[in-house]
Structure 1
Amino acid sequence: MSSLFSNRILNTKKSFIREILKVTSNKEIISFAGGLPNPISFPIEALEASIHRIIQTQGTSIFQYATTEGYLPLREYIAKRYTKRFGLDIKPEHLLITSGSQQALDLLGKILINEGDEVLLEKPSYLGAIQSLCMSEPTFLEVNLTPSGPDLKALEEIFTHHAPKLFYTVPNFQNPTGLTYSLETRKALGKLLHDKDTVLIEDDPYGELRFMGEDLPYSGFFGAKRSVLLGSFSKIVTPGMRIGWICTQDEEIMDKLITAKQAADLHTNYFSQVAIHDYLIHNDLDAHIQTIKALYLKQRNTMLDSIKEYFPANVEVTEAEGGMFLWVTLPAYMSALELFDLASKANVAFVPGEPFYANDMQPNTLRINYTNSDPATIREGIKRLATAIYTLETKHTL
C-alpha cells in the first residue's frame, strides 16, 4: 500500500503538537502544550466592526478572486511598519501575503530545495519548520543554540565544509527555547553570510511581543547576501485568519515565490486580508500589542515564579525576554516522554523536546507555553508538573 504514496509524505511525520492537542481537548487537562495566543487578547468587537464596514463599502469585490501577491494596501501597511520599526527600505513589491508563515516555509522549501540538498537548522528548531521542510526531502544540518544565539564557532565550521541551501532561524524569543539572538551574534551572522548563496530565513512571529529590552535589527541587515523575513498577524491580531507574509528584496527569490504561490492556492484568503487591513487602519495596533504584552508578561512571571518555587533545583529553564515559550532541561537521566505520561495522569500537558530536533535528539528537554492559561491555572499546572518530575526522579534514583 505504501507504494501508492510519495516518499516525501511517507518521510514526513505528523505534527506532534497537533496530535497532543487532540488529547488535551479534555477540559480537565491543564495544557502548556500548544503555542496558542490567549483568546481574551483577540480584538473581537473591532474585527466585527471591520467586517461589517468592508462588506458595506466594498460589496462583492471582497468575495472575488484577487492577485497572488496580496492586497496592496495591506502590503503597503506592512512595508511602512518595517520602516517605522527598523528603518528598512521595504516596498510593497518586496512582500508576498501567505496563508500564515507556515505556508511561507512550504513555498520556500519548494523553490529552494531539491532532494538531498543541505538545510541548516537551529538545534533545537521549530517543529513546524522541520515538518514543512521535510516535504522537500533535504539533508538536515544542525547548529547548537547558546543563550545568545547559534554557536558561532560551530557555524563557521559548518560553512567551511558545507554549503546549505538555507539557514532557518527564529531570532526573537525562539520557538521552542524562548532564546533571543544578541546584537553581536546578529552582526556576526550577517557578516558570515555576506558572500554565501545560503538563503538566511528569519522567521519572526513573536518579535512584537518583547517584554524587556529593545528591538534588535535582523541579521540580514548586517550584510547577508540573500535574506528573507517571515512575519504574521497570528500573534498580534488573530491566528484564525491565517495572514502571514514573506519579505525579501531579492527579486529572483520573490519571482519564484509568486510562481509557487500561484501553483499552491492562487492567493491567500482575500476577505481576511481586507478585514485585517481595515482593522489596522481604524485601530491603534501598538496600544493593542501593549495590552497583549502586559497580559503575557504577568503569565510568564507567574510561570517562572512557580517553577522556582516547585521544581527541583537540578531542572534548568530559560527566562524568555518575550514571546510565548519557556524551555525546560531535565537532568540527563530523565526522559521528557516518560514525564509526559506521568504528567498526563495528573491532567497537565506539555510538548516533549524530541520533535524539535531534526537529527540528534535530546530526550531530557520539553517546551511549555504560558500564554493560554490564567495565572491561577499556570500555578496549579506547574505544581502538578513538579510532582510528576519528583516522581520520575525518585524512580531513577531508587
Structure 2
Amino acid sequence: MTWTLSQRAQKLTSSAIREILKVTERPEVISFAGGLPSAATFPVEHIRKACDSILTTAPSPALQYGPTEGYKPLREWVVQRHSREGAPIDIDQVLITTGSQQALDLLGKVLIDVDSRVLVETPTYLGALQSFSLSEPEFVSVPSDDQGPIIAAMTRDLTDGGRFMYCLPNFQNPTGRRMPVQRRKELIDVAAKAGLPLVEDDPYGSLSYRGEQLPSLWSMNPGGVVHMGSFSKVFAPGLRVGYVIAPEKLALKLVQAKQAADLHTPSFTQRIVHEVIKDGFLDDHIPQIRQLYASQCRAMLDALQQHFPKGCSWNEPEGGMFIWVRLPQHIDTMQLLDKAIAEEKIAFVPGAPFFANDPQHNTMRLSFVTVPKEKIEDGIARLGKLIARECAQ
C-alpha cells in the first residue's frame, strides 16, 4: 500500500526546538533550550482540589461534550479580565482554544491563502512560523530592534497586501524584548493607516518582574487587533487552555474552523482552570512566578557577564523567560549546539529558525526558568569556555 502525501504535508518540517528537547531529556544535560515554565510554579494542590470539587458537584458536564466557544464561566472571566474603559468585550468575541498554538492554527486557516503576505517581526516565534507555514503564505520580515518592529521601515511597499502582522509585544519569544508604549502607539497608527490587521500573541504579558503591565495592542484598537492569551505560562501548560479575543465576525469563523478541528477544548480542563482562578488566585500566584523568574534571570545575566568572552552581547529582559544572545559573526550556533551537547553537556536553541527570512546564524535563545541557580552558573561557565575556544579559532 502506497500512501501519497499532500504537497502541504511534504513541506512539513519538525520543530527545531522539539528535536532539541529530545536530547535534553538526558539527565546529564543542562538545558537552556526549552521554553517551558518552571514546574515549581504549578499549583498542584489547587488543581487536585478543583478536580475533586468538579467530579463531586458536576461530573457529567465536566466529562461530556461542550460548546465549541468554550465553557461560559471561563469566557466570562476572560471578558472581565480584559475589558477596558472604551474597549469593552462581548462574550461572543471570546473563543477558548486548546492552547494558544491552536489559536495560531485557526487564524492561519481563516486568514491565509496560498501566497498571502503575512508580516512578522525579526526574529519571531518559531511555533507561529511553523503553524502559518501550513497555509503557504509569503512571509514578510519587518526590520526590528530591541524595542520591536521599526516603524519607519513599515513603508507602504512593506505593508501593502498584508493579510495581517503577527507580533508579541511583551517579552517576546525568542528575544525577551518588550515593546514600549510609544512604539505600540506608532505601530497601531501605521497599521490602521495601512489597513493592516494585527495579531497580538501575549502569553508572557503578566510576567513583568516589576509587576507593571503595559496596555495591550487590542485595548488600543479593538477593531483592528486579535488578542491571543494562554494559561500555560501562568498556570499549567499540560491542561492546554488558551483563548482568542477577536472582532465578532472573525470570532465566528474561528469557531467554525475549530468545529472542524476538535469540536471543543476539553470540558474538564476548562473547568479546572476556572475553578482555580475564579476567585482571584492568579493575583496572588503570578507575583510568586515573577519573583522566581527575576531571580533566575539575574543569575544568568551575572553568569553571562562573568563567563562569556568579548564580542558577545545580550539583552537584559524586564520579564518573561528568555535571553537573546549574539555571538561573533563567524560562529554558527547550529554547529555550536552539537559541540555544546557533545563536549559540555549543555543545550540551547540556535537563533536561525526564528527568522522567517535571512536567518542570523550567530544568535541563540537561552531560557533560564527551569534551571536552578547553581546549574545556571555551571552551565553558562561551560558554554562560555566553548564559545571562547570557537572565538580563538
TM over 0.5: yes
Amino acid at match of 2:7: N
Q: Secondary structure at the match of 1:111?
A: helix
Q: 1:44 to 1:3 in 2, by over 3 A?
A: closer
Q: Residue 14 of structure 2 corresponds to which residue in structure 1? A: 14
Q: Which residue of 1 aligns with 2:51?
A: 51
- Does the CA contact (< 8 Å) of 2:199 and 2:227 recur in 1? yes
Secondary structure in 2 matching 1:202: strand
Letter in 2 for 1:148: Q
For residues 198-223 of structure 1, what are the alpha-carbon distances to aligned partners after superposition, in whole Å with 9 as ceiling and x for unaligned?
32000000000001373111234334
**Does the CA-based 8 Å contact 1:230-1:245 persist in structure 2?**
yes
User: Partner of 1:205 in structure 2?
Assistant: 203
SS at match of 1:326: strand
CA distance in 1 between partners of 2:189 and 2:233 (Å):
30
SS at match of 2:237: coil
1:116 aligns with 2:115: yes
Work out which of the residue numbers 163, 186, 189 in structure 2 matches 1:188. 186
Q: CA–CA distance in 2 between the matches of 1:53 and 1:252? A: 36
The alpha-carbon deviation at position 285 of structure 1 amounts to 1.2
**1:169-180 alignment runs, 5 A limit:** 169-180=167-178
- Which residue in 2 is equivalent to 1:363? 361
1:21 match: secondary structure: helix
Q: 1:331 aligns with which of 324, 328, 331?
A: 328
Instruction: Give yes or no for the alignment of 1:297 onto 2:294.
Output: yes
| SS in structure 2 at match of 1:177 | coil
Q: CA RMSD in A?
A: 1.7
Counterpart of 2:263 (choices 263, 266, 280) is: 266
**1:168 is matched with which residue?**
166
Counterpart position of 1:217: 215
CA-CA distance at 1:3 after TM superposition: 8.3
What letter is aligned with 2:134? M
CA distance change for structure 1 residues 121 and 45 in 2, over 3 Å: closer, same or farther?
Answer: same
Against the structure 1 CA distance between its residues 52 and 167, is the aligned structure 2 distance closer, same or farther, given a 3 Å change threshold?
A: same
Match of 1:89 in 2: 88
Distance, in Å, in 2 between the alignment partners of 1:12 and 1:195 is 35
* 3-state SS of paired residue (1:193): helix
Is the Cα–Cα contact under 8 Å of residues 315 and 329 in structure 1 kept in the other structure? yes
**Distance across 1 between alignment mates of 2:89 and 2:25:** 42
Structure 2 match to 1:103:
102
1:343 match: 340
For residues 18 and 87 of structure 1, the distance between their equivalents in structure 2, rounded to whole angstroms, comes to 41
Residue number in structure 2 paired with 1:280: 277
Distance 1:55 1:220 in 2: 36
Aligned with 1:302: secondary structure?
Answer: helix
* Shift of residue 335, structure 1, vs aligned partner: 0.9
Aligned residues: 392
Which of 308, 312, 316 is the matching residue for 2:313?
Answer: 316
2:237 corresponding residue in structure 1: 239
Distance change (3 Å), C-alpha of 1:53 and 1:382: same
Structure 2 segments unaligned to the other structure (5+ residues): none
- Do structure 1's residue 24 and structure 2's residue 17 form an aligned pair? no
**Structure 1: gaps of 5 or more residues:** none
Q: Decide whether aligned partners of structure 1 residues 175 and 87 sit closer, same or farther in structure 2, where only a CA change above 3 A counts.
A: farther
Structure 1-normalised TM-score? Answer: 0.95
Instruction: Describe the SS at the equivalent of 1:323.
Output: coil
Cα-to-partner distance string for 1:117-144 (whole Å, 9 max, x where unaligned)? 1111111010000000000000110012
Query: What displacement does 1:391 show?
Result: 1.4
The secondary structure found in structure 2 opposite 1:201 is strand
What is the one-letter code of the residue matched to 1:126?
A: Y
- Pair 1:34 & 2:54 matched: no
State the shift of 1:156 in Å. 2.5
* Residue identity opposite 1:46 in structure 2: H
Deviations 1:12-68 (A, max 9, x none): 321111101111110000000010100011000011000000110102121100000
- Secondary structure (helix, strand or coil) at the match of 1:17 reads helix
2: CA distance between counterparts of 1:40 and 1:223? 37
Number of the residue aligned with 2:64 = 64
Q: Distance in 2 between matches of 1:111 and 1:7?
A: 20
Q: TM-score, normalised by structure 2?
A: 0.96
